[in-house]
Amino acid sequence: AQSVTQLGSHVSVSEGALVLLRCNYSSSVPPYLFWYVQYPNQGLQLLLKYTSAATLVKGINGFEAEFKKSETSFHLTKPSAHMSDAAEYFCAVSRGQGGSEKLVFGKGTKLTVNP
Amino acid sequence: DGGITQSPKYLFRKEGQNVTLSCEQNLNHDAMYWYRQDPGQGLRLIYYSQIVNDFQKGDIAEGYSVSREKKESFPLTVTSAQKNPTAFYLCASRQGVTGNTIYFGEGSWLTVV
């Protein structure tokens, strides 16, 4: 069954430093993978998604993620953190096909950005 | 503007009462979902619907019920059988093609008092 593991429930970086949020997936078929961001008391917003077109995926707000099949990973990175990046980030893998497709989420990583 | 509207944003319920959370979308999406979010638990799927008048249980359906009488609406009822209903509830929708993005509403907070 498809699942995701996010390593580190809390990550703290300094403003301007590299952001690295880790996600490993488990899937018996080529997966679709997603990263979402959630600001306090709000819904989830899509940052980027992998659908097998390219292994390096660029998203919004300067984030990108690289799909590595050999490592079953889809880590999220940003070269330089900004205060506005402070939020909770969720990695997700799709399960099912077509209309029955669903997302299975990791438990989330809360990012703190220190001035 | 197109999007997903959840209401109310905040809801308080007394123990033993049923409560219904509203979810409306004007994106013309076929599939709709309800997720529950608890701190440190991520999001867990309650129910989903692929088409009108059809829906399936997710991973934590006990104590919840849904209906899908219209394409744009997917209300969730939290019944008194749900033992721990205090949580943040998120409605979502997507067009029914594999790999398509799931879009989320702004969520509803339910607190049992």
Q: What is the pLDDT of residue A100?
A: 67
Average the pLDDT over B1-28 and give the result: 92
**Nearest Cβ partner of A9 from B30, B31, B40?**
B40
Across residues B84-93, what is the average pLDDT? 95
Q: Is the pLDDT of residue B93 over 90?
A: yes
So what's the pLDDT on residue B75?
98
Give residue B5's pLDDT band: very low, low, confident or very high (50, 70, 90): very high
The whole-number pLDDT of residue B80 equals 87
> What are the E-state strand segments in A27-61?
33-38, 44-50, 56-58
User: Residue B34: its pLDDT value, please?
Assistant: 97
A residues 17..76 contacting B (CB < 8 A): 32, 34, 36, 41-46, 49, 51
pLDDT reported for residue A29 = 72
> Taking residues B86-91, what's their average pLDDT?
96
Interchain pair A43, B105: CB under 8 A? yes
Partner residues linked to A40 by β-bridges: none
Q: Determine the distance in angstroms separating the CA of A88 from the nearest CA of chain B, rounded to an integer.
A: 10
Q: Which of A36, A102, A107 sits opposite B40 (nearest CB)?
A: A107
Determine the pLDDT at residue A102: 84
pLDDT per residue of chain A (115 residues) written in tens, 0 to 9: 778 999 999 999 999 999 999 999 987 777 889 999 999 889 999 999 998 778 899 999 999 999 998 999 999 999 999 999 999 999 999 877 766 688 899 999 999 999 9
Question: CA dist A97 to A44, A81, B24, B97, Å?
Answer: 22, 36, 24, 8
pLDDT at B46: 97
Q: Looking at A58-62, A76-80, B38-42, B107-111, which range is the least confident one?
A: B38-42
**pLDDT higher at B81 or B90:** B90
Q: How far is A89 from chain B (nearest CA, A)?
A: 10
Residue A88 phi/psi, 5° resolution? -105, 140
**A-interface mutation test, from B5, B30, B37, B95, most A Cβ less than 10 A away:** B37
The three-point CA angle B28-A53-A73 to 5° equals 100
